[in-house]
Structures are given as C-alpha cells and as structure tokens.
Amino acid sequence: MSKLAWIVVFAALSAAPAAAQSAIPDVRGTWKGESESIILGPGNPHHVAPSSTEPRLDNVPFTMTIDKQDGRRFSGTFSSARANDKFVAVISRNNTILLVDDDGYTVGSILAPNRIELCYMHLSQATRLASCAEMTKQP
C-alpha cells in the first residue's frame, strides 16, 4: 500500500471518534426523576427539615424542564413540590453535564438519549447536601 493510501486510511480512522464526540444531544423537554439525597443540617428549599447533627436520608421527586438550547449550552428550571430553581448548563465534549443554580453545582452524565444522571452538591455554613437522580425524558 502506498504512503498516501496509508495516510488516507489513518485520517479516516482518526476522524470517526472525533465526529462521534462532537455530536451534541438535544436535551430540550421535560425530564422526571427522584433524588437519593444525604443531608447534614437543615437542607435547602427542596429538602427542608429541622437541623440535625446526624446526616439524614431523603428522596424527592423532581421535574427538570429545559426550554432553551444552543449547541452545548442550555437552561431551564429544576422543580420539586417545594421549590423551583433556574439553572444554566453546558455539555462537555465527552457528554458530561455541568450545571449551576443559585446555591449549588450539579455534574451529570448522559446515559442514553432519554436518560441522564444528575448529581448535585450544596455547601454552606449550615448545610452539607449531596444528591443523585436518574432523570428520564418524557414523551
């Protein structure tokens, strides 16, 4: 095989993974899931309880509505029966979701076109909170 042919084959093989990584999924729509949380302190508006010196476990149903997306950037609202939080987010080139609201940070993974996992962290002088939820896109 000629040197030029090898270069063409190598270039084609190298381009395939790069193209796959650059496809940004459309995440607009309504997503639902339930958090699995551990909280030390009084919690946040979604996980309200009397303050305790011992960590407590909590589960809360959530709805995430994503109404704007431009490429890898998107925004929306995260809601429970107790509160609503507006957020902004980005999708990294390896499909990791990085999301921020007014009092915490979320890191997520795209599991399938209709499933994502989001893990939230909140830290303040009064509260420590860590939570994960698997969210399913609604039809």
- Give the chain's domains with CATH numbers: 25-137 (2.40.128.620)
Give the Cα separation of 139 and 96 in Å (integer): 23
Residue pair 53/127 in contact (Cβ under 8 Å)? The answer is no
Confidence category of residue 2, pLDDT binned at 50, 70, 90: low
- Secondary structure of 58-105 in the HEC alphabet? ECCEEEEEEEEEECCEEEEEEECCCCEEEEEEEECCCCEEEEECCCCE
- pTM for this prediction: 0.81
Give residue-wise pLDDT tens across range 9-63.
445 545 444 444 568 999 999 999 999 999 999 988 898 887 788 999 999 999 9
